[in-house]
Amino acid sequence: MLTLVIANKLYSSWSLRPWLMMTELGLAFDEIVIPLDQPDTATRILAHSPAGKVPILLDGPLRVWDTLAILEYLAELHPGRVWPADRAARALARSISAEMHAGFGALRSACPMNLGKRFARRDRGPAVARDLARVEAIWRDARARFGAGGPFLFGAFSGADAMYVPVVTRLDTYDLPVAPDTRAYMDAVLNLPGFQAWREAALKETWIVPHDEVDEEPLVDHRAGR
């Protein structure tokens, strides 16, 4: 039995990525949730990985950390199900996943993932606008070239979609202005039963991470009792 070590579902964008990929693969796995910003957080994470970060995939004695490494490990376990079968599509999927892994700092900083709130639309600055334009261009290109077989970037749900799911949530909860084709892709992701199950569990969490609670009043706070 695989075990995935993750952080708070409300905030942890990196945890969401492999969790949703594993769910879409139909894998049976256990999860260990280690809430962030607790006195024992670092000690508990270090017990599973010397990198001191989540997510971490446990497969017997094996420890795999970093989201992209986990996706590649899953691809080895389940050939043809994480990345597209076509070589050109697979190359693009890996390239845009790596770009997501290393980039879009302005969007991440200005709009931290918080599934419990919805914010009013406002100007988030030119750096966020540039990140948003690049995201839309990536999605549009992948869909135009390889998305004919379904509603996701390469038709069927893939590792590339898993990498961009937290971006989808940011564009949605912060009401960033997007084109109709972008919105259609976002809706396909947000309507995945796996994502809805993650979000439902997230909204039941009671832990609050102050640095992920942005300094503005939300239009809607979905968390019970708040």
Q: Tens digit of pLDDT for each residue in 41-54?
A: 999 999 999 899 99
In the chain, CATH 3.40.30.10 sits at: 2-80
Q: Which range (146-155, 171-180, 198-207) has the least confidence?
A: 198-207
In the chain, CATH 1.20.1050.10 sits at: 87-197
Q: In the structure encoding, which two tokens stand for residue 42, read together?
A: 């670092």
Query: Model confidence at 214, in pLDDT bands (50, 70, 90)?
Result: low
**Distance between CA atoms of residues 69 and 57, nearest Å:** 9
Q: Specify the CATH class of 2-80 in words.
A: alpha beta
Query: Model confidence at 223, in pLDDT bands (50, 70, 90)?
Result: low
Q: Which amino acid is located at 118 in the chain?
A: R
**Distance between CA atoms of residues 164 and 101, nearest Å:** 9
**88-93 mean pLDDT:** 98
Answer yes or no: is pLDDT of 209 > 80.
Answer: no
Whether 93 contacts 81, CB under 8 Å: no
Answer yes or no: is pLDDT of 56 > 70.
Answer: yes
Residues 6 or more apart whose CB falls under 8 angstroms from that of 177 comprise 121
What whole-number percentage of the chain has pLDDT above 70? Answer: 92
Query: Model confidence at 225, in pLDDT bands (50, 70, 90)?
Result: very low
User: Cα dihedral sign for 131, 57, 3, 46?
Assistant: negative
Q: Over the chain, what is the mean pLDDT? A: 93
Answer yes or no: is pLDDT of 216 > 70.
Answer: no
Contacts 24+ apart (CB under 8 A), 165-170: 165/16, 165/17, 165/20, 165/189, 165/195, 166/13, 166/14, 166/16, 166/17, 166/113, 167/100, 167/104, 167/107, 167/135, 169/13, 169/113, 169/115, 170/107, 170/108, 170/111, 170/112, 170/113
Whether 182 contacts 153, CB under 8 Å: no
**What number does CATH give the domain 87-197?**
1.20.1050.10
Query: Model confidence at 226, in pLDDT bands (50, 70, 90)?
Result: very low
- pLDDT value at position 220? 63
DSSP 8-state code for residue 212: G
**Distance between CA atoms of residues 115 and 128, nearest Å:** 19
Reported as half-sphere exposure (CB side, CA atoms, 13 A), residue 142 has a value of: 31
- pLDDT value at position 219? 65
Q: In the structure encoding, which two tokens stand for residue 101, read together?
A: 């892994």
Q: Which range (17-26, 84-93, 215-224) has the least confidence?
A: 215-224
- pLDDT value at position 107? 97
